[in-house]
Amino acid sequence: MQEPAITPELIANHGLKPDEYDLILEIIGREPTFTELGIFSAMWNEHCSYKSSKKWLRTLPTDGPQVICGPGENAGIVDIGDGDAVVFKMESHNHPSYIEPYQGAATGVGGILRDVFTMGARPIASMNSLSFGEPSHHKTRQLVNGVVEGIGGYGNCFGVPCAGGEVRFHPAYNGNCLVNAFAAGLARTDSIFYSAASGVGMPVVYLGAKTGRDGVGGATMASAEFDDTIEEKRPTVQVGDPFTEKRLMEATLELMQTGAVISIQDMGAAGLTCSAVEMGDKGKLGVRLDLEKVPQREENMTAYEMMLSESQERMLMVLKPELEAEARAVFEKWDLDFAIVGETIAEDRFLIMHNGEVKADLVLSKLSSTAPEYDRPWVETPAAEPLTDADVPTIDPIDGLKALLSSPNYAGKQWVYEQYDTTVMGDTQRRPGAGSGIVRVHGTDKKLAFTSDVTPRYVKANPFEGGKQAVAEAYRNLTAVGALPLATTDNLNFGNPEKPEIMGQFVGA
């Protein structure tokens, strides 16, 4: 297959700015191949690199006596005593859910569950935070129905209880809904698995479902602003299979008991590219991949497609070679693919081969830890003018009460959470609709409470105070049910960071 010429239009379509492309030329000293361009695009977008937010995220408090693992891995981990740990994370799947509501939301749930069990934890609870446009908007009904059905369809089939969440409606979300998924799991503190590769010449193993063309370029799409071409982006939305994910979880947790795992990484955004690069970079190693060995469900897939596919229910592992037979037997038992597709190498190099031909040969660290990082210009959100008596409209109290009672934001949300399985696994103590969700730690007297909360209009009016209020309200939700808050995970949804006023909102919050 003839690869396309590298043109300014192709570079722009990959979400790369002219100065970023110039930096690529400086790094590799030549024009990139089509596959290399795709790899840079995937690794340098906002979704994977946090290039505009890292500077500010580093200022957040991440240490504490109970914190086992803070930011930087697939999920955070907190010690809850007696050798038990809770592994948890929240993540957005906004763009895919707007383009294809059912699959976008479903694969958001699947991705967050993989982040948890990749670290050796069995998921015990999920939550979701959903923001939609006004009910009268022509897209809202389709989005609500598809997103809620997708969350329920995936979570219910996988078999994890929904412990809580929130749903809001506001005209600000008419152009793009927000779909945020949370998952928490339990692990033993002496059986936690990380993603940093170690050892030269160790087999890199592909696990799970086969690779297809769904989701190619999804991470780049998730970093872009929407425009009139939104419908053309539908092929970049992933397609999920919760029953395969359930088998993948059981196989992964069983595999971890064999002692064969050196490191393991979920194939999420940017698929094979991001998982391989992150494993190598964290271990200060290089990675070689032979793509003809990648299990494929479609014919004639190119190196570009395989490297950027976001097909779901897949993992990448660095394996102890002497335990290959035991590891392979586990995945064959669960009817999942197990294929050695490469190896770790000593050089700081990301070498991609396909049928004996070099498709990409890059400096691996330049794709991840030393990728571009920006200190974007920002302007502080102007303070609102103080309200005077004349600014407050005169409203009859009864009319005001009727308006509040008729608002979808204050209406009962049973129609949402009754579509989710809230009691599977048998440890749910407090179900959605009654404050923080509570789940028992099976076989013990311990219980875990979870909540998700924010008041977006406060953040818009005053990002700094609104950010404080979000933490405080979540804290109150937990203490109201008798729980001691142990940790938070921030899940920040903001617009284009290249706009100073948007960047200012992010900085303030």
Catalytically annotated residues: 47, 93
Contact status, residue 187 vs residue 121, Cβ threshold 8 Å: yes
Strands (E), 173-244: 178-188, 203-208
Nearest to 415 by CA among 127, 180, 149: 149
| Dihedral of alpha carbons 114, 213, 273, 46, sign | negative
Which DSSP string do the residues of 98-137 spell out, in sequence order?
Answer: HHSHHHHHHHHHHHHHHHHHTTT-EEEEEEEEEEE--TTS
b/e burial code for range 210-240 (CB count within 10 A of at least 16 → b): bbbbbbbbbbbbbbbeeeeeeeebeebbbeb
The whole-angstrom separation of Cα 379 and Cα 508 is 10
Separation between Cα atoms, residue 221 and residue 219, nearest integer Å? 5
CA-wise closest residue to 75 among 341, 266, 319, 285: 266
**What token pair was written down for 331?**
């995945």
Residues 107/230, Cβ–Cβ less than 8 Å: no
Helix 242-256, helix 101-117: angle, nearest 10:
10
Q: Which residue has the tokens 């290089």?
A: 286
Alpha-carbon span 113 to 122, nearest angstrom: 9
H-only helix segments in 121-267: 140-158, 218-222, 242-256
Which residues contact residue 476 at a Cβ distance below 8 angstroms, ignoring those fewer than 6 apart? none
Are the C-beta atoms of 66 and 78 separated by less than 8 Å? yes
